[in-house]
Structure 1
Amino acid sequence: MTRPTGGLAGLLAGRTPSGVYRWHSHLDADALAHTLETAGWRLAHLDRTLDSREEALAALGEVLDFPDHYGRNLDALWDCLRDLPGPTVLLWDGWGALAHAAEPDVRRLLGVLEDRAAEGGFAVLLRGDGPDLGIAGLD
């Protein structure tokens, strides 16, 4: 796992690799969206309590504006993530409730998100309390 340097600014400038990170900022989503847009990125904000992997897959499709044919499974998630229209940050507030309830499912979801982030132009910020899954912080 690569250790981030330079926080959000480092990520947007390419000094920190794209990835899945814990993020402890209290910056509101509108301010984050503005910051991202200034740097040429867009924000997808997932901010709801989810009870299952199926709900998470559906919610990810909604906030990332996937096409209607999105199949709401891990393969379809991967395919649609590869077709994002430009650099994107997914801010996932409240991810921890699902991670506590269904850690294996969340690990699989995060694995797909991490694989896509490794290709660049995509990052995930997990904000809020959650289990220690060995995810580096971006602060």
Structure 2
Amino acid sequence: MSGLAAVLAGRETPGVHRWASGLDVVDVRHAVEHADWSFAHVDGIGLEARRDVLAAIGGALHLPDHFGRNLDALHDCLRDRSGPTVLLWDAWSGFARADTRSFELTVAVLGERPAGEVALEVLLRGEGPAVAVPLLE
């Protein structure tokens, strides 16, 4: 968990990372919340369509009812979060394989945090295709 611990402590820049941890979701949640970050989890098993993935992300992050389940709406809603958040996205590979372009666009939106915006760390956990996402050690 040292890479995640570094993010939570401010020693590593938050963003989108592949993460090879075998920790239980409950243990990850505990560590994240102990650091005073919010925690969200997406179980991506069976999620291959962008609309379904965005609905799962919106639900996990408790985005408002007006969230339009499109990338522009995701971008806008992410800017309105009140505190730093870790989004653990298990089984992301089905979406990455089924719709590579939409996966790349979704990851780009999740990773786009201008200076001064509230931190968002997205952990892509599990095996998957080769993607241009750095590994969090």
TM-score (norm 1): 0.91
Question: How many Å apart are 1:120 and its aligned residue?
Answer: 4.7
Q: Decide which of 53, 57, 61 is 1:56's aligned counterpart.
A: 53
Partner of 2:23: 27
Amino acid at match of 1:131: P
In the aligned structure 1, how far is the partner of 2:13 from the partner of 2:125?
Answer: 18
User: Which structure 2 residues correspond to residues 53-92 of structure 1 after superposition, within 5 A?
Assistant: 53-92=50-89
Amino acid at match of 2:43: D
Whether contact under 8 Å (1:22, 1:137) holds in the other structure is yes
Question: How many Å apart are 1:83 and its aligned residue?
Answer: 1.1
Whether contact under 8 Å (1:18, 1:121) holds in the other structure is yes
- Are residues 117 and 106 of structure 1, via their aligned partners in 2, closer, same or farther at CA, if it must alter by over 3 Å? farther
Partner of 1:128: 126
Question: How many Å apart are 1:107 and its aligned residue?
Answer: 0.1
Amino acid at match of 1:28: D
Partner of 1:112: 109
Whether contact under 8 Å (1:22, 1:126) holds in the other structure is yes
SS in structure 1 of the partner of residue 57 of structure 2: helix
SS in structure 2 of the partner of residue 116 of structure 1: coil
Whether contact under 8 Å (2:3, 2:136) holds in the other structure is yes
CA RMSD of aligned residues (A): 1.4
Partner of 2:94: 97
Corresponding residue pairs, total: 134
In the aligned structure 2, how far is the partner of 1:61 from the partner of 1:9?
Answer: 25
Question: How many Å apart are 1:48 and its aligned residue?
Answer: 3.2
How many percent identity over aligned positions? 50
TM-score (norm 2): 0.92
> Which ranges in structure 2 are unaligned for 5 or more consecutive residues?
none
